[in-house]
Structure 1
């Protein structure tokens, strides 16, 4: 795998897990936002939060890959956004919202673990 060539990633399990979880969260959020967009105005908050989180998580993964000095601050923002979005998704019975919430909780946890590593 290409990431094995990046020493600061391959030597850091927390960072690798966080990168993986961030990309998974982005995929779940894009799916959830797309599904919610077809369900009407009552899902507007879910759509907006999912889109924000998809952008934040992919940006955070890119910052970790480049070993940015801003990764820790972005991890904190990312974790908070994931939790807020998960809370919104949990309010809805749709399967895509429930799946998204689960993925986002994992992402928030891994972002916090990466911050403290």
Structure 2
């Protein structure tokens, strides 16, 4: 059973929350990959740092949403800010991993924005 299938069985989660959890989990993994690919490139140091920050924030946000934490909206706001900063940084680079990361983070930022405003 996939994680996505498991979340569908949690009745307390709305479809919007489920989608945001999935987007956050994807962002976590893609950011870890992008950060790893940036290692050793001096011009990608800031990109790696931002990716690591986003990975930590999105992982935390997914966990908080899964347990319906009262702090979820606060962390969602931080996720939006971090995702947008990282997207901007990734777009400065031509590397495939940066372009993929920027695309995933744009979607994640939108999902988190919906959660922050819920």
- Secondary structure of 1:91's counterpart equals coil
- Whether 1:16 and 2:18 are equivalent positions in the alignment is yes
What value does the CA root-mean-square deviation take over the aligned residues? 1.0
The Cα shift of 1:116 comes to 2.6
TM-score normalised over the length of structure 2 = 0.92
State the partner residue of 1:52. 53
TM-score normalised over the length of structure 1 = 0.93
Instruction: Please list the CA deviations of residues 10-37 of structure 1 after superposition, one character each: whole Å capped at 9, or x if unmatched.
Output: xx11111100000000111011001010
Write the mapping of 1:85-100 to structure 2, written as runs, cut at 5 A: 85-100=86-101
Asked whether the equivalents of residues 8 and 18 of structure 2 are also in contact (C-alpha less than 8 Å), the reply is no
Higher share of residues assigned helix: 1
Partner Cα separation in structure 2 for residue 21 and residue 47 of structure 1: 20
- Secondary structure of 1:8's counterpart equals coil
- Secondary structure of 1:6's counterpart equals coil
Runs of 5+ unmatched residues, structure 2: none
Structure 1 residue ranges, 4+ long, deviating more than 3 angstroms after superposition: none
The Cα shift of 1:103 comes to 0.2
The Cα shift of 1:7 comes to 1.9
- Whether 1:5 and 2:14 are equivalent positions in the alignment is no
Runs of 5+ unmatched residues, structure 1: none
